[in-house]
A = this chain, B = another copy of it.
Amino acid sequence: MSKSVPSWERLRELIVSQNANQLTPFIETLSPSETARAISRLDEKEQQILFSLLSPEDAADAIEDMPDAQAADLVEDMPSAQAAAILEELSSDHLVDVLGEMDEQASHAILAEMDKEDAKEARMLLEYDPNCAGGLMISEFLVYKTDQTINDVLNDLQINRDEYVDYHVQYFYVVDQADKLVGVLRMHDMLFPTRGARLEQIMLSSPLSVFHNASLMELDDFFEEHNLLGVPVVDDDGRLVGVVLPNAIEEAINKRKTKTFLRLSGIIGGEEFRTMPLLSRSGRRLSWLSMNIVLNIIAASVIALYQDTLAAVITLAVFLPMVSDMSGCSGNQAIAVSMRELSLGLVRPTELIWVLAKEIKIGIINGLVLGLLLGGVAFFWKGNPWLGMVIGGALAANTVVSVTLGGMLPLVLKKLKVDPALVSSPLLTTVTDMCGFFFVLSFAAAVLPKLGGM
């Protein structure tokens, strides 16, 4: 079976032999995810040769299969004219996604090489926040004037059949002479009336629409509420400027989730793929780690303050990382629940008291259970009940702190317009580390004579 040769090896052969004739048929045999994987395994030079051998249409098909960040990386390195020829083949929403991942200089250079109309449209779309209706809409939709007839529409459909194949939209929008949206028609509305009927006679008037600045959550609510295959987007004057499809909303939510997940794990500044250059990957990871090292130093300085206590009861050193780690875990659970509820709109950033009331109870219960567990371990290990109480008490107290803080941090950060995914976890860890060290060492200092030299 050909399974034994990875697809990128075969691809590489075809590239090295400059075999343009076999290249396209070969890529067509690959599934989209396999295409993305194969291309990503080529080195930069091979990728450039590959894309110079493919027609713009085939190159665009390949680009569509790749994650936006990877596609942008690839296109950025091409001559602008080649990049423009390929990107012109993408649908408007996809084009804007890829351009949005580039730095501005690169995207401007490509736009300058594109067809003027397409470039103008893309620039307009790029101006929108990618998570509002304007940033999510497509420009490929069917629009007719009020005084056109069903026959006009059918003729247009017949003539432009090939172009419309790529149009997702299932509705015909009707605008007046000033381009204001005044009606909508579904395909089956055309089946029954006479073919000479004017659209204004048969259209559904005052159709549902959203404003160009509607937020992702408003759009999500819209499609939850209305079982539609698309919603027209109008500007402040009511002019039809685009159409948002429900899939675009799900995709945008998906993207936001990915970003949140990556940021929470310390992958900041966009996506990372292992096919990206080593130094840029390493540098981006380091930028987050070096912030963390500073926070770590601050937290650990608490230990330095209590060095005498620690020297007197060296056993405490075993428990310091445990108390801080466990509290970090408890706090991160609370962060996750808050992030989830925020993203679903089940909690608002102002509802701190509600979250506090809900989390403090969990903090107390889980603090008691975990404190008893770890305190018990400490007690049985050294046979000293005071050690058990110090460790158990410290973990219990610190669990209450970390759970309530973890629950509230994302709300506070969101209210301060700081990205909770980026900041919640490092901040929580720092505070719970400090408090954990402080509780263990100060409780121990208070009962030092009882702890003896352990």
Which A residues have a C-beta under 8 Å from some C-beta of B? 31-34, 36-37, 40, 64-65, 67, 154, 157-158, 165-166, 168, 170, 187-188, 190-192, 217-218, 220-221, 224-225, 227, 229, 246-247, 250-251, 253-254, 257-258, 260-262, 264-267, 271-275, 278-279, 281-282, 285-286, 288-290, 292-293, 296-297, 299-301, 303-304, 307, 310-311, 314-315, 317-322, 324-326, 329-330, 332-333, 335-337, 339-341, 344-347, 354-355, 358-359, 361-362, 365-366, 369-370, 373-374, 377, 429, 433, 437
Known: A33-B345, A221-B31, A345-B37. A429 touches B325 (CB 8 A): yes
> Which B residues lie within 8 Å of A37 (CB)?
345-347
Interface contact B361-A225, CB-CB below 8 Å: no
Q: Shortest CB–CB separation between residue A136 and chain B, in angstroms?
A: 13
Question: Are B271 and A33 in touch, CB under 8 angstroms?
Answer: no
Tell whether, in the assembled complex, residue A225 and residue B340 are in contact, meaning their CB atoms are under 8 Å apart. Answer: no
Q: Are B320 and A310 within 8 A (Cβ)?
A: no
For A260, the chain B residues whose CB sits under 8 A away are: 261
Q: Which of A190, A346, A369, A373 lies at the interface centre, i.e. has the most chain B CB atoms within 10 A of its CB?
A: A346
Interface residue SS majority, chain A = helix
Contact of B285 with A333 in the complex, beta carbons under 8 Å: yes
Which interface residue of A188, A285, A329, A347 has the most chain B CB atoms within 10 A? Answer: A329
The answer, among B266, B278, B359, B373, for a CB contact under 8 Å with A361, is B278
Copies in the complex: 2
Q: Could you tell me if B289 and A329 are in contact, using CB atoms closer than 8 angstroms?
A: yes
Nearest-Cβ distance from residue A219 to partner chain B, whole angstroms:
11
Contact status A337-B274, CB under 8 Å: yes
Q: Is the CB of B296 within 8 A of A322?
A: yes
- The complex places the Cα of A152 from the Cα of B239 at a distance, in Å, of 40
How far apart are A435's CB and chain B's nearest CB, in angstroms?
13
Pairs across A and B, CB under 8 Å, 11 listed: A31-B218, A65-B224, A166-B227, A168-B227, A250-B250, A261-B340, A265-B335, A265-B336, A286-B369, A293-B373, A321-B433
The residue among A188, A229, A299, A324 with the most chain B CB atoms within 10 A of its own CB is: A188
Q: Do A320 and B322 touch across chains, with their CB atoms under 8 A apart?
A: no
Asked if A274 contacts B355 (CB within 8 A), the reply is yes
A14 to B301, CA, bound (A): 56
User: Closest residue of chain B to A263, judged by CB?
Assistant: B336
Min Cβ gap A367→B in Å is 10
Cα–Cα, bound, A65→B344 (Å): 11
Given contacts A271-B340, A273-B340, 5 further A-B pairs with CB under 8 A are A257-B257, A293-B322, A301-B318, A317-B320, A320-B321
* Bound form: Cα–Cα A274–B347 in Å: 9
Q: Which one of B40, B253, B366 contacts A346 once the chains associate, using CB atoms below 8 Å? A: B40
Q: A250-B250, A289-B370, A340-B262 are contacts. A318–B300 as well, Cβ < 8 Å?
A: yes
| A-B complex: 3 closest residue pairs judged by Cβ atoms | A265-B336, A250-B250, A33-B345
The answer to whether A340 and B285 touch (CB under 8 A), given A157-B191, A318-B304, A326-B293, is no
| B residues near A34, Cβ cutoff 8 Å | 345
Q: Are A32 and B168 in contact (CB under 8 A)?
A: no
A158 to B324 Cα, complex, angstroms: 68
* Bound CA–CA A358/B286 (angstroms): 16
A278–B330 Cα distance when bound, in Å, is 15
Interfacial chain B residues near A290, Cβ < 8 Å: 369-370, 373
Give the residue name and chain of the B residue nearest to A165 (CB).
B227
List B contacts of A318 (CB < 8 A): 300-301, 303-304, 307
CB < 8 Å: which of B40, B266, B301, B344 contacts A67? B344
Cα of A268 to Cα of B4 in the assembled complex, Å: 38
Contact among B265, B344, B373 for A36, CB-based, below 8 A: B344
A200 to B251, CA, bound (A): 37
Query: Could you tell me if A285 and B317 are in contact, using CB atoms closer than 8 angstroms?
Result: no
Given contacts A191-B157, A266-B333, contact A217 B322 (CB under 8 A): no
CB distance from A169 to the nearest CB of B (A): 10
Q: Is the CB of B333 within 8 A of A33?
A: no
Chain B residues positioned under 8 Å from A319 (CB to CB): 300
